[in-house]
Structure 1
Amino acid sequence: MEVKDVMNPDVVVCNPEDTIGDVARMLKQNNISGLPVVENDRVVGIVSEGDLLKLLEVPEHTGLWLPSPFEVIEVPIRELINWEDTKRMLDDIGSKPVEEIMKKNVYTISPEDSIEKASEIITRHKINRLPVVEDDKLIGIVTRGDIIRGLGKL
C-alpha cells in the first residue's frame, strides 16, 4: 500500500507569519495536534501542540531556599509579581510569529512511497505526521492514524 492510498489531501496549514495564538486556535478548531508551515506551496516548517506546550515550561528551581523572618512578608509580594510577569509573557507569546517556534527540519514523504517507509520514518524520528510532497509542493499529510486505518483495510 502506498502513502497516496492513506494520506489526507485536505491539509490544514499555516504560514510563517501567522501568530502562535492563531495557530493554537487552528489546532483547536480543526481538532488536530500539528500542522505544516507552508510558504508558496512549499513546506518550510512544522508546528505541533508539543511546540506550543514547550513555551509554558518553567525552569526548575534548584537548591533549597528558606526565607528569613523579614522575607516572610516579601514572599507573597514576590510571587504576585512573578505571576503578573508570567501572564504578561503569555500574552506576548501569542502575538509572536509561528516561525519563531516551528521545527525547520521537516521529514517529508512522496505519495508513491510505501506506508511501511512512512511508518519507519515516523517511528524512528518519534513524530506524529509526515507532509506528503510531490515536486517540492505539499499535496497531503499522513499521520500515524492514517497508516493504522490503512493497515486495517488490508
Structure 2
Amino acid sequence: MSENEEGTPERTDVRKEEEDSPRDRTRLSDICADVKISEVMSEETTVVRESESIEDIIELMTRTPYHSFPVLNENDELLGVIGQDNILELLFFERSHRHHHTHLMAIKALSEDASTLMVHHPVTISPDSTLCDAADLMIKHHIDRLYVIREKKLAGVVSRADIIKKIHGLRRQ
C-alpha cells in the first residue's frame, strides 16, 4: 500500500489489492452461470423403492456413506426422500417431544415401507439448469443436495460439495 504526500494510505491502492485477489479475478456469477448441472451431477445414485421395508433401508444406511436416499416408484419417478433424520425419529420416537408424539405414533404404526416414512416433494432441478440455479435453491431451502430430474425420471443428484469442487477447480484454471 502506498502513501500520499501527507503520509496516509491511499484508498485506491487498497482497492487495487482487493481487485487482484483470486475471488475478484474470476467472478463467481460468471463461473456458475456457464456450468450446467449435468456436468457436475452424480448419475450413480443409490435409490430405494417405495415398497422397500424400513428394516432394509436401515440396513442400507449402515452399509453406505449416504445420509438420505431418493425413493422411486416402479417407473423410476422420484416420489420422495428418506433420510437418517426420518429413521432416527422413528427409532427413538418414545424420546421425542410431546407435540411430536401424535405424528410419530401414526408414522410408527404405518411404517412398513419407504412410502410411509419418506418426505414427499423433494426439491428438484433440471440437468440443463446452472450451478447458480442449484446454489440458489440449496440456500433458499437449506438443503445439501438436489435431485436432478429429466423427463420425470431421476437422472442424478448434485450436492453442495459437487458445486464447491467444480467452482474451486474452475477458479484455479
Tell me if TM exceeds 0.5: yes
Report the Cα offset of residue 38 of structure 1: 0.6
**Take 1:15 and 1:117, find their aligned partners in 2: how far apart are those partners?**
28
Q: Does 1:48 align with 2:64?
A: no
Determine which of 49, 62, 66 is the counterpart of 1:28: 62
Match of 1:86 in 2: none
Gap regions ≥5 residues in structure 2:
1-34, 99-104
**Take 1:128 and 1:18, find their aligned partners in 2: how far apart are those partners?**
24
Note the 1:128-147 alignment, pairs <5 A. Answer: 128-147=144-163
CA contact (8 A) 2:148 2:156 kept: yes
Any idea what SS the aligned residue of 2:147 has?
strand
Structure having the higher helix fraction is 2
**Take 2:70 and 2:84, find their aligned partners in 1: how far apart are those partners?**
12
- TM normalised by structure 1 equals 0.73
Matched residue type, 1:137 = K
Match of 2:52 in 1: 18
Note the 1:52-63 alignment, pairs <5 A. Answer: 52-55=87-90, 56-57=92-93, 58-60=95-97
- TM normalised by structure 2 equals 0.66
**Take 1:120 and 1:145, find their aligned partners in 2: how far apart are those partners?**
14
CA contact (8 A) 2:89 2:96 kept: no
Gap regions ≥5 residues in structure 1:
62-88
Residues 30-49 of structure 1, C-alpha deviations (whole Å, 9 max, x = no match): 21111100111100111111
Any idea what SS the aligned residue of 2:49 has?
coil
Note the 1:2-151 alignment, pairs <5 A. Answer: 2-39=36-73, 40-55=75-90, 56-57=92-93, 58-60=95-97, 96-151=112-167
Q: What RMSD, in angstroms, separates the aligned Cα atoms of the two structures?
A: 2.0
Which structure has the larger Rg over C-alpha atoms? Answer: 2
